[in-house]
Amino acid sequence: MRKEIVLNITGMSCASCVGRVERVLKLDTGVLSAEVNLATEKAAVAFEDTKTDPTKLMDRIRGAGYAASLLPRPEKDRANSQKSDKRALIAASVLSLPLVLPMLLEAFGLHLMLPPLVQLGLATPVQFIIGARFYAASWSAVKARTGNMELLVAVGTTAAFALSVYLLLTRVHPHLYFESSAVVITLVLLGKSLEHKARAQTSSAIRALQDLKPETARVLRGGEEVELPLSQVGVGDLVFIRPGERLPVDGTITLGSSQVDESLMTGENTPLAKTVGDAVIGGAINGDGPITVRVGSIGSETMLARIVRLVESAQAKKAPIQRLVDQVASWFVPLVLGTSTLTLLGVGLGTGDWERAIVNAVSVLVIACPCALGLATPTAVMVGTGMAAKAGILIKDVGALEIAHKVSVVAFDKTGTLTLGQPTVTLVRSLSLANENEILSIGAALQQGSEHPLARAVLREAQAKNLPTRVVRENRAIPGQGIEGKVEGTKYFFGSLAALTQLGLVTKEIQEELEKLNSQGETLSVLADRSTPAVLGVIAFRDTVRPEAKRAVRELQARGIRTVMLTGDHISSARRVADELGIDEVRAQVLPEQKAQIVDQLRAREEIVAMVGDGVNDAPALAAADVGIAMGTGTDVAMHTAGITLMRSHPLLISDAIDVSRKTYAKIQQNLFWAFFYNLIGIPLAALGYLSPVIAGGAMALSSVSVVTNALLLKRWKRQS
């Protein structure tokens, strides 16, 4: 059976590490796919559980020189690791400062260079004790027949240190490079520290979501309030929430009413009025009234937990553009080592100055930064998905985030997407000897158990008229056409005019009558007796257009995006809604499978298509589109099929989803440009001797920090809605 897990990995430093971990995972015959993300330090792995298991996968990662775990690193371990890194940075800075300070003072005419043996004494612990981590990581890379950032640093600083020792032993007044080896190590540690701090901010949106849920709940037991850990709260328990408190669980209000703020989960700015029977979400803030909630879901099944899982899963996966970058990065370290060797030989043989040749070669090694390449895409994706989640846009497919910026056509399902999905019965008309209440009663019997919006409208109308509940047998839904079944021994069909026409039950007189109703823009469902056979009557419906739908369509059109509406309704009712909203193109009376075909037709015209829907019948079209967008109030099938889910049924979020994609992709492009530009400019300058090892090391340390900082500018993104 196929299974998917997310592994936590520590010890990776650059894109080369990412490639190595992916390679060792894919060597396992049971692994179907493996995607490693440097920014999140996670690996998303799909595997056959009959051929391998998480323990074997983690052993493979450890064998490659990295630490791996199935559970997140405990905060205590993370804090200890950060303290250790901080102590190493402080120690390296204290030892390196006396080495670099005289070099800086020379610019002011002060010559305070330390004695050679003192320089050796200061540089040695930095190189071999504090810098031991670079040798350990380099050895792991060598064993795996690959390279990484640590290998470049280790080779470069060791060369500078060894050259200094050689000059110390062979010359009376040598010019030493101990400050280069020590300061480069210090700068790399400083860069990593700044990078980790910046990377921590990229996941701040997810941490904010994770911190929403309280640790305890006030449960009603035996008429008394008992405060219990959430682990001891069960489904069906009654939980009491005071004004101003966060809801600890998902559930339904059984007593009281209040205003509930769900903004951090749904992006809805305005608190929502909630009363008895309404559903509430764990992590939301209770407003002005005490409420009692019956627990509906707990732990990993709550909406908050599912939201966090979706976003974390998206962040753990790799954007399509990153795969190309990783292929380039896999050649990066060997290319740099080759360039450094050519620099050494070229300068040494060309000028005879081997000291200068070694210094130039060392500069090439320490200025090269595969980290910036590895972080350029995932950091932007992390910030983009996090900001989208805060706005109520859940992106579970990173590919959808990357593609959405190119969308040229948005195809909408009508009911529940552009309309409220709460149609009402406007007319019941008999086309036979049966009276109107009889037609409504039979229609309601056939629709029992159906979740279709039209079915709910029929049932509400029948209840409002106090019509008796009738027993239905052998009822069967026909997707996109209607429903049939037996009521009191007679077989009936209740569905679209097109379906009845195909069955040959619609006479010319009835056709004319129905066309009159259709011309008014109503949605019609026709009741027919299949036993006679004969058409008995018709029920007309009208749905209300969402208040914000017109603005949403205009927002998309202002971005140069064409809008198309796909619906199973008659062309007249579809045209009424389209004209009201300003939709560019209408495709009416289409079956679910035809929606997917229309999406394919649009894509065949080299359009990038986003499909927006909320029902089971939209799933094929959502899957066929370049980007599937599901309304959060829709069915689970739609949300599982789509790459993007809108937590609110707010069409303006569609434009926001495209906008956050455009901003994120722009940051990815900027980061990749600067990462490549930095290396393309820096390496030749170092090879030609224009950069000393110290300056090269500083530039390398700051390159990845600049990439992460640029990605963090995405946090300024604001939604239009």
Known catalytic residues? Answer: 413
CA distance 473 to 489: 8
Residue type, 697: G
CA distance 371 to 382: 16
Residue type, 76: K
Residues 296, 299, 302: CA angle, nearest 5 degrees:
50
Cα-Cα end-to-end distance for the chain? 42
Mind spelling out the 3-state secondary structure of 472-489?
A: EEEEEEECCCEEEEEECC
Q: List the one residue out of 216, 195, 119 whose CA is nearest residue 161.
A: 119
Taking phi first (over 0 means left), then psi (-120 to 50 degrees means alpha), and beta for anything else, what does residue 267 get?
A: left
Q: Report the DSSP beta bridge partners of residue 439.
A: none
Radius of gyration of the chain (CA): 33
CA distance 43 to 589: 45
Question: Using an 8 Å Cβ cutoff, are 306 and 281 in contact?
Answer: no
Classify 586 as helix, strand or coil: strand
CA distance 648 to 391: 10
DSSP symbols for 163-217:
HHHHHHHH-SS----HHHHHHHHHHHHHHHHHHHHHHHHHTHHHHHHHT-S-SEE
Question: Using an 8 Å Cβ cutoff, are 538 and 508 in contact?
Answer: no
DSSP symbols for 142-161:
HHTT---HHHHHHHHHHHHH
From residue 282, give the alpha-carbon distance in Å to each of 30, 256, 363: 38, 17, 55
Question: Using an 8 Å Cβ cutoff, are 349 and 74 in contact?
Answer: no
Residues 156, 159, 160: CA angle, nearest 5 degrees:
90
Question: Using an 8 Å Cβ cutoff, are 326 and 376 in contact?
Answer: no
Taking phi first (over 0 means left), then psi (-120 to 50 degrees means alpha), and beta for anything else, what does residue 521 get?
A: left
Question: Using an 8 Å Cβ cutoff, are 378 and 40 in contact?
Answer: yes
DSSP state of 419: B
Token pair 């393309």 is found at 680
Kind and range of the H or E run holding 550:
helix 549-558
CA distance 449 to 472: 11
Residue type, 171: R
